[in-house]
Amino acid sequence: MEIIEEDDEEIRELMLKISRKEITICETCDSVFKYATNKKICDKCRKKKLRAYRKRPGERERLREYHQRPEVKEKARMRKQSPESKEQQRLYRQRPEIKIQRNKQYLRRKKLRENK
């Protein structure tokens, strides 16, 4: 009896939080996540949904075609050349694991050149 009452209290607390727009219950898996406008499913379910969507027949071809359009290519090029993007690339290149990777690639190429 007591357990049920506790559950009721918990549910009431949840409902209150939902009405205060503090949290949302996921539409597909019933997990609870932080409230955000128009967000109805949790990140896990959203990723799962997106992955399933991308696996549909013809979706890969459609995406490839889309990215080959001249206006889309131009947009991507502009984005790549923006100061924000360049700053991000700079930060990425400075990461220690990336530096190690780059050094390994350099040594591998050097070895190949010397063996020619």
Residues of this chain that bind Zn ion (CB under 5 A): 26, 28-29, 31, 42, 45
Distance CA 50, CA 63 (A): 13
Distance CA 72, CA 34 (A): 34
Three-state DSSP string of 89-106: HHHHHCCHHHHHHHHHHH
Closer to Zn ion by Cβ: residue 28 or 89: 28
Residues sharing a CB contact under 8 Å with residue 49, sequence separation 6 or more, in sequence order = 28, 41
Shortest CB 49 distance to Zn ion, Å: 9
Shortest CB 16 distance to Zn ion, Å: 21
Closer to Zn ion by Cβ: residue 36 or 112: 36
Shortest CB 33 distance to Zn ion, Å: 8
Closer to Zn ion by Cβ: residue 4 or 52: 52
